[in-house]
Structure 1
Amino acid sequence: MGSGSPAIAANGVLKPPPLSLYIHIPWCARKCPYCDFNSHTRHGPIQELAYVDALLQDLRGEQKLVAGRPLQTIFIGGGTPSLFSAQSIEGLLSGVAEVMALDEALEITLEANPGALESERLPGYREAGINRLSLGIQSLNPDSLQALGRIHGPDEAVMAVERAKQAGFERINLDLMFGLPAQTLEMAQGDLQAAIGLGPSHLSYYQLTLEPNTPFYQSPPDLPDEERLWQIQQQGHEMLLRAGFQQYEISAFSHPQEQCRHNLNYWRFGDYIGIGAGAHGKLSTQDGVIRRRWKRRHPNDYLAAAKGGVPFLQGERVLQAEDLVIEFMMNALRLCDGVEAELFSATTGLDLEYMGEPLNGAIKKGLLYPVDGRLCPTPLGLRFLNDLIAMFEVNRTT
């Protein structure tokens, strides 16, 4: 396969996709045994002001690559971003507004843990401009929370949701896991029903997986078998649908019009700037090339780069045509309704015929709908998503 490039408008200038900003705050109070994110346990006070200054310095360098394009969404993730004070978050967002053009309907999400200290900060986060809150409750069962190494209890999770609503947050996401250590079907149903009862507008319901380089991977806990996992997942999905939620992504459910716009931009192969320790970005530039870029991973190295005036960038890679095929499909096929087929060409610059053989093979196996105008997984395709995605990786170069 040869190299590919993003779609070029009739005047020869790249027509880029929507643009988002991901901000990574890498510290947490204690690293959970299942977590493989770039997060680091806090030891002593965090250098909040220095880190915010570094983030904005990093952003100014990235801004040169996006030519005044407005941000559609901002997502502050981690780690535990709610370890930062409301004043620091406000300073960060004010700095972003000075550097970047912002869409009028800008969505700004903050990830937060439901601890007592974080809950007290929620009104300040809302005043700072956060308009979507994602709370990592993971479970409302005390035994499950303890098994997961979480430092909050069920009462703190309930209190966090109540305080978020009191602070004026209308868009609240809850992260909830299933397939937890020693979890029965009844336990999972009770967990999910309790989460639904808190009245979130969005619920991320996903299976605990054992990731390499985590304590759980080295010493696996007693997890439900495949049959029980399937029962938990299927009955959980039915509970969510009965409660008025719509499944729009393999592990994401929302009330109508309450989807996470930031994640939708990922899944629709949009562009995003990544700033912060270990943050990744994907940018389509006017030279007709799509690049992935990533920053220095350790927070100490990232802060040292800011002080020393050296690049935050750790590396970048230009995506070739075979990369574009698999990366587009591994995102788009997570969406239950798929995407418009024309989006493939619009974001990669490649004709749909470019992946004709695996595309036809997936349709013949019943993993993709044979519908003109859309790339859409069937229920079977969603169930065996990894197998479906792998079909588009066969010709990828290493």
Structure 2
Amino acid sequence: MKLLLAAFLILLIQKTVFSASPVGCTINNNKAVCSYQTWSPPLRDSSFNPNPYQVEVYNISGQLISGAFSGLGGLTGISGNIDVYILLDCGLSDVQIQNDTFTANLDWVKSLYIRTCNVRSGILANTFSHLTKLEKLEITDGILGSMNGNSFTGLTAVKTLKITADFLDQTFPSGLLTKLTAVETIQITSADLTTLPSGAFNGLSKLKTLDLSKNSLMTIPSGSFDSLIALTSLNLDNNPWYCTCDLSWLSTWMLYTGISATVTCNTPATYNGLSLGRVVMALGCISNTTTVSLGVTVTSASATDSSTSNNSLLYAALVVAGVAMLASFVTGIVACCMCYKIKYPMHSSYKTKPADTVKKLDNTTSTNSSRNNMYQDYMFRKPSPRSVSSSESRVSPILDVNYDVPKSRF
């Protein structure tokens, strides 16, 4: 009995010493769970043992006070894929979030979850500006009031944005998403969006996945996806699309990029249930030449045939011109070689007879037969190795070299 009592006291002491937490909160394995109705903010590391790096606050209502988490410094040396986060759950109550609720000491937070909160007053400018290491922001369920173009300022490390809360204005301001320069996934679904601002996704060059399904979108401004050079997945399902020529750019963009998305027309009633591509063709919206993003031109069938024919003619003309140039080049080389051979003969197996030698042969008294034999002898003789005197030297008028004239021949 004494042993059991001692063990109980030891456990009680360990719980008190090694697992301390402030009023309204409990902590287990570095995760603090607090009830907004009973907690005493601001939360501080000194009130917890061990220090929390996962904080969940439930039953939030009314105003979320400034600096509610100003005493939390996180935990250094965290390894692995542990999610370091703050979760706010309002149970569908109305909540006001101050623009200094999240203070500079929270630069260790990687994820922020705002669930079932009716933030009717919206999110003010620079509300999240101190969360410089935040990689994931989720605002799910509930209601989201008017947003400011700078509401997401400072979230340059965010890779995932998920919003499923209903937008009261049924849109969001221009420039809101362009602050998320590192974002790779945007999911805005079941948010009752009816329109998107022009240039809503400008500058999001790292965005790979965009999900706008289950909204009330009827159209999208032309060129909205032009800057999404890394995009590989687009979901536009379950929207009441109004298919006119104003939306034909989307069909052309999908054709060019190869990114497919289901766009089923709701209105006009004549085209209800048909795909955007079929309606665009039926309306004749795409002209012979339609310019799309990145300066690339997409052409219709007739224009393509004409372009192909013109390209074939151009190719044939280039081939003919190339052959003509090659023939001219070869002819020039041959002509140069001939000229060079005439001016500088390479073969000397026989030599043209000099004029003075011909004259001597003509004046001789030898018979024709002997003269012929002498001529043949002279023309096809082999070089004589003997030396001759200067009086026997002759100069060839053609080859400009000395040669020997045998005395015996004259």
Normalising by structure 2, we get a TM-score of: 0.24
* Higher RCO structure (Cα 8 Å, ≥6 apart): 1
TM-score, normalised to structure 1's length?
Answer: 0.25
**Higher helix share goes to which structure?**
1
Larger radius of gyration: 2
